[in-house]
Structure 1
């Protein structure tokens, strides 16, 4: 079957919520979704790619049982049996995630183009959303339904940030998990009930994985900037759920776990467990620094230093195969060869760590330039910001088949922009510093990296443009900078928004108007990006000159206010 079959648009308007027969309506929707399933050969390729490229970051599925479920679903269809809506949504969520993180290898196997794969991502996402949100038969709570919703939320949010719809999906995940009682999964009473009544222990372990995935996302977001800064939903006193087991899926069966491994032993869950530990640290920071949002005063510096110590204790305590020193890297070469995803998990872990460490010290970053009492914070901020930029470059060297797809993730774009802006403010406030030119070059390189991301996800770059315009509009209130509203970069971004897709299988604007993320499949073709890059670089040089010219006129409080005004919010998985 030709690959174009995958990319036919799913028209949710064919489902009529006001139909007099709700059951017939739901059955029609189910049949329509079934018709959008890819052929089994393509489904296997998409599933395998999800397993290699996205599962190591999410750590939600039990791969062997999910693969068996997919195979059984296709066999049931051949036998004339209909799969459940929950099963269909899980499959479409997996296919959507795989299409989001496409690789050259996947495109070759599917004989597809980038544009077709982007279209498939949106089409699969739309099918999953219609199943989840059907007006007469919405998806009920179940473990597979919860996992499917989490995967879908992850994919859509990383495609374009945390929109209103994404917040609704997050709330849906929380509500479904609470309805399932996962927050009390490992109370003494629950464990005794499982012992007496029996249970599928794979499902129990998946529930632990999905619960802690949600909790970690919540706590990481609470210390990432944006409107959610300083606030989290999941209260540790209100839950009793053990951490996921450090184990490969092959060692887990429905009757139990054969043996759980020490955290010093690498497994498919190593990255997820370290992500949880990072999230716990973020929650502790938020608990220790409530004055960040509630009061105008800065936190006590002794508290910052105590938390800084906690950060360094944490990074010293990570397994050796996640460390970045030369000796640890040498020792972990064999592990990374056997488990390629470890390199991505390691880079992501340090990327997240340095972003948070930089944010911890940011209130004293500029004061440290002139006040020796805070010089340590300035050094840490600058060092961690440079480290984030360095790690971002290393991400491009990791194969997409092992998780390396940074240009298509909002969380990566968000952290990179923050680090670049920290260095930019440092240079602008202290242009005579010995390393000023080096830092300026790093900022320019970071901007070029962000610009290149536009070719893979135009919507992500629109977020960077929005933040840059916020920055410039604030600076323009001071004497000096010329009018930059006609920025060629902004103009090219707006033009890309209005460009209709040329995908022959989608048709002009096929998915437009059905949801708030339809326009994203119109990212410019990377083959036509040379002139735009040259123009953007020249424009950025002008922006930088204007920035440096006016920046020294701003005092420290004005700078701090400026940094807080820039929207760093978004779905934060790192």
Structure 2
């Protein structure tokens, strides 16, 4: 992909066709579509490998693909018709919206990995642009529960999911550094809240998608359409949730009941995510790695203890309506599914009230176990490398096993 991107830039694909001579309207639109694919893969694969993207926005001015049906223009047209409004659900609408999100995510990614320490104002400015783009998501691409999407085409459901994952992933990357930065300072309270909510929402998507891929599920016959890139989004969410629980645990003695309830949901979501990765151990190296790391984490971080609260108070907390106090509340509430509402997330009645949970695949002799021996000195960088699969020479190992066999996960 890196070679393809360089060749495309040498051929001028990074310049909008309106700035080039002897390019017909039809060829220009095809070039825009081609460059979007290259731009998206360059960004997402670079992020997956932990490498800088090849394409920088300062060097490109190619416009996103137009929201047009293929029948709206042809090779002989003298000019392209105006782009259709976002309410017209054409096959190119998803790519046009994702192009906008991807370009914001590229700036967020560069901001996150930059060696220069930026001010919090820069972070909030990027957040404002991201939230504005999320508000403008076309109606047909707004995320909705799978239970309410059984009449939709599978590709349309996945388009909604993938565009939402780009948004949630952007939030996680942008605000992650503030999860452990002076948690007593209310200045970063917004970042901690939205980052935790975004990672939790990604884990909800993982649980919902996993259930849909089971026999009789909506995607059981369409698993070939799923992208291996989404697996790394689930790893990112698990990593951030681990960090959030670890930092929250150190202050759990002073936590309010609402905070404890939030920690409990994250802990149970992480346990379910561990179960999903464990079920894929036989098919994927990434799944084995994720299962191993999460097993160690879950064995060290105790489940938040809320059993000492009065039963009636607990029931009222569980049944209380969700407060609209953040950009993720509506998204979390609107994506409730059978997998999320099931008893898998209400484990207080299953004998796991307050004890530390040691998953079945936990190995006390695992080298990663020593990372958590000193609970207040966790090396999160080392855990990141373990989740990303960095080899000894620092090269990320891509999990080609995800692309093999009857349960393939090709890029889409």
Q: TM-score category by the smaller chain?
A: 0.5 to 0.7
1:140-196 per-residue CA deviation (whole Å, 9 max, x = no partner) reads xxxxxxxxxxxxxxxxxxxxxxxxxxxxxx133224424544334604442xx245x
1:526-560 per-residue CA deviation (whole Å, 9 max, x = no partner) reads xxxxxxxxxx951149799x9699477234xx555
Query: How far did 1:470 drift?
Result: 7.5
Query: How far did 1:281 drift?
Result: 0.3
Q: Paired residue for 2:242?
A: 424
2:140 to 321, 337, 342: 321
- Is the aligned partner of 1:207 residue 2:207? no
Q: Report the secondary structure of 2:17's partner residue.
A: coil
Query: How far did 1:443 drift?
Result: 0.9
Distance 1:549 1:184 in 2: 48
Matches for 1:188-203 after TM superposition, within 5 Å:
188-190=19-21, 193-194=22-23, 201=26
- Is the aligned partner of 1:553 residue 2:375? yes
Q: Paired residue for 1:300?
A: 119
Alpha-carbon distance change, 441 to 560 in structure 1, aligned in 2, over 3 angstroms:
same
Distance 2:132 2:16 in 1: 30
TM score, norm. by length of structure 1: 0.47
Q: Report the secondary structure of 1:538's partner residue.
A: coil
Q: Paired residue for 1:443?
A: 270
Query: How far did 1:389 drift?
Result: 0.8
Work out whether residues 278 and 288 of structure 2, in 8 Å CA contact, stay in contact via their aligned partners in 1. Answer: no
Deviating more after overlay: 562-571 vs 346-355:
562-571
Distance 1:211 1:429 in 2: 42
Q: Report the secondary structure of 2:86's partner residue.
A: coil
**Higher helix proportion, which one?**
1
Structure 1: give runs of 5+ residues left out of the alignment: 1-169, 482-535
Work out whether residues 395 and 404 of structure 1, in 8 Å CA contact, stay in contact via their aligned partners in 2. Answer: no
Distance 2:142 2:278 in 1: 30
What is the alpha-carbon root mean square deviation over aligned residues?
Answer: 4.1
Q: Report the secondary structure of 1:422's partner residue.
A: helix
Distance 2:114 2:235 in 1: 22
Alpha-carbon distance change, 464 to 206 in structure 1, aligned in 2, over 3 angstroms:
same
Q: Paired residue for 1:139?
A: none
Q: Report the secondary structure of 2:157's partner residue.
A: helix
Distance 2:18 2:221 in 1: 36
1:413 to 228, 231, 253: 231
1:373 to 179, 187, 195: 187
Query: How far did 1:214 drift?
Result: 0.8
1:274 to 88, 93, 97: 97
Query: How far did 1:361 drift?
Result: 0.9
Q: Paired residue for 1:283?
A: 106
Q: Paired residue for 2:8?
A: 177
Alpha-carbon distance change, 205 to 549 in structure 1, aligned in 2, over 3 angstroms:
closer
Alpha-carbon distance change, 548 to 300 in structure 1, aligned in 2, over 3 angstroms:
farther
Distance 1:416 1:373 in 2: 28
Distance 1:220 1:386 in 2: 21
Q: Paired residue for 1:353?
A: 167
- Is the aligned partner of 1:216 residue 2:40? yes
Q: Paired residue for 2:335?
A: none
Query: How far did 1:563 drift?
Result: 5.1
Distance 1:281 1:402 in 2: 34
Q: Paired residue for 1:310?
A: 129
Work out whether residues 322 and 346 of structure 1, in 8 Å CA contact, stay in contact via their aligned partners in 2. Answer: yes
Distance 2:291 2:219 in 1: 29
Q: Paired residue for 1:528?
A: none
Distance 2:178 2:267 in 1: 21
- Is the aligned partner of 1:383 residue 2:219? no
Matches for 1:125-204 after TM superposition, within 5 Å:
170-178=1-9, 180-184=11-15, 186-190=17-21, 193-194=22-23, 201=26, 204=28
Alpha-carbon distance change, 471 to 540 in structure 1, aligned in 2, over 3 angstroms:
closer
Query: How far did 1:347 drift?
Result: 1.4
Work out whether residues 73 and 81 of structure 2, in 8 Å CA contact, stay in contact via their aligned partners in 1. Answer: yes
Asked which structure has the greater CA Rg, the reply is: 1
**How many positions carry a matched residue from both structures?**
319
